[in-house]
Amino acid sequence: MSKLRVLIVDDSSVMRKIVERSLRQAGLDLGEVLEASNGAEALAEVNKGKFDLILSDINMPAMDGLEFLRGLAGVESAKGVPVVMITTEGSEARVVEALSVGAKGYIRKPFTPEQVKERVAPLLGGGQ
Ligand SMILES: [Mg+2]
């Protein structure tokens, strides 16, 4: 399998780096990793090219993770691309909503690389 092209969406640049580091520590074979700080920026990236995996925060200004998921529904290059939500304690209702509008799973903060691997690896086509 070729290296994974990944999009990390979070309004916190620190959290984006933590997510990327966790993916590397989880042993995923990362290629290009792009970042976006809200759903609108993320949709713009998705419209520009195909990703193998998208990880997205739920709570973000401008366009949150749920609106982002709804926006992805109409984007051809997003078809079949797994989206995993990064959530905080106490946001169960929003997680349920995210799963109902297309998210393939969620990771609760704080998380370990092992938890990231557990959630993400089964969503990737073989070899990871
Ligand atoms: Mg946030």
pLDDT, tens only, 95-121: 999 999 999 999 999 999 999 999 999
Instruction: Please report which confidence band the pLDDT of residue 128 belongs to, taking 50, 70 and 90 as the band edges.
Output: low
Tell how far the Cα of 57 is from the centroid of ligand 1, in angstroms.
Answer: 6
Tell how far the Cα of 13 is from the centroid of ligand 1, in angstroms.
Answer: 10
Neighbours of ion ligand 1 (CB under 5 A): 11, 57, 59-60
34 backbone φψ class: left, alpha, beta (φ>0; ψ -120 to 50): beta
Domain 4-123 belongs to what topology?
Answer: Rossmann fold (3.40.50)
Tell how far the Cα of 126 is from the centroid of ligand 1, in angstroms.
Answer: 31
Tell how far the Cα of 59 is from the centroid of ligand 1, in angstroms.
Answer: 4
Burial class of 8 by CB neighbour count within 10 A (0 to 12, 13 to 18, 19+): buried
Provide the whole-model pTM.
Answer: 0.94
Question: Which whole number is the average pLDDT over 49-59?
Answer: 96
Is the per-residue pLDDT at 33 higher than 60? yes
pLDDT of residue 127: 47
